Structures are given as C-alpha cells and as structure tokens.
Amino acid sequence: MLKILIVDDHPIIRFAVRTILEKVGHKIVGETENGFDAIRLTQEIQPDIILLDIGLPGLNGFEVIEHLRNLSDPPKILVITSQVSKNIVMRCQKAGINGFVAKTEDLPGLIEAIRVVGRGYSYFPRPDYMEKWPSGESAPVDANRLISQLSTREISVLTGLVSGLSNKEISIQLSLSEKTISTYKQRLKAKLNARSIIDLIDFARRNQLIE
C-alpha cells in the first residue's frame, strides 16, 4: 500500500482521485489545493508519491517540483494535468519528475502509472501516443459549442458523475436504468472530447458547470 498526497486546486477532482485510489488499496495521507501546503505536507507526512497538478495557485507545479527535488529524501512525483503538450512533458522530464499522466487518460492508466512509479520506474506517455498532441500549449477548445450540445438529462448525469456518485446511485436519482446511465456517460465523453471521468470533471470545473 502506497502513501499518496494529492495536490490539485479543485476539491471535486481531489475527491474523485481519492475515491479511485482508495478503492484499489492505496492510502491517501493528505490533500491540498496549493503549492505552499504541498511542500509543507510533504515534509510533515513524508508520502511515497505526490500526485501533482501543474496549474496551482501560489507556487505553480514546476516551482513545487524544484522545491521537492531539493529535499534530502524527496518523494516520487507523478504529474497529473490537463495541460497536455509535448513541451509540457519535456519540461516535466527535465524537472526530474517520475511520471506524467494526462487527465484525459482512462482510470486504469492512472492506476498503472502509480503502480509503475511506486516500484521505482518512470512512467511517461509513449512517443507515438504524443504524436496527436500539440507541440506547445494545448489549443483552446470552443467550450460553449460543446456545452450547447448537451441535453438537460446529460447535464444531470454529468453533475452526478462529478459529485462522485456511482452509476447505480445516479440511476436511482434520475429514475433510469444503470444501462441508460452508462450510455449517457459514453455520450458525454464523446460530446466533450473526454476520455475519462477525471477529464469530464476537469471540463465541468473549468467551464463552471459545477460549483
């Protein structure tokens, strides 16, 4: 069982990641929304792995990495971010992190990354996988156009998903079958160009679809 510290500036994403990792047996020893507390908590609780977002208030992710790498016994650092580009990955590698996972990654990808990094290896996207990524910062998405495609029911399902509800709980809440909820989930991923629940949560957060 690995001791993990989650550093992300939105509580719903932290909750989702915590729920996922606790289900597979990892111990979440702390979480925070900013870089200053990330450094303080690391020194206090000495986690095995830090899951670190790059876009943080106060100290940004790269500044946090620099501080952590200078500790006498630094933790392993796994970046998990929506900022996917070849340049970002290269900057992370040069900064000395142990792994990189895009928030678009399916949940098994995050779990596998933690397993690999926890065993002392590096985990980065394959070069052929990154070919579809932009060279610089991610290109902006016309979010309003994507959101306008969603039905009222789809937004209700999305709200349930990002609140951490299971398919069964959402089906009871909306008086629909679990199979129908699964269908709505796949539609949401397709319409919002999302590849995972974390990606859906991040999209909803950035576009104020959730509190």
pTM for this model (two decimals)? 0.69
Tell which wins on pLDDT, 129 or 56. 56
pLDDT confidence of residue 159: 80
* CATH no., domain 143-206: 1.10.10.10
pLDDT confidence of residue 130: 62
Domain locations along the chain: 3-130, 143-206
Please name the fold of domain 3-130.
Rossmann fold (3.40.50)
- Using one digit for the tens of pLDDT, what is the confidence trace for 156-189? 888 888 777 889 999 998 899 999 999 999 999 8
The sheet with strand 99-102 has its strands ordered as 27-32, 3-7, 49-52, 76-81, 99-102
pLDDT confidence of residue 128: 62
Q: Is 3 exposed, middle or buried (0-12, 13-18, 19+ CB in 10 A)?
A: middle
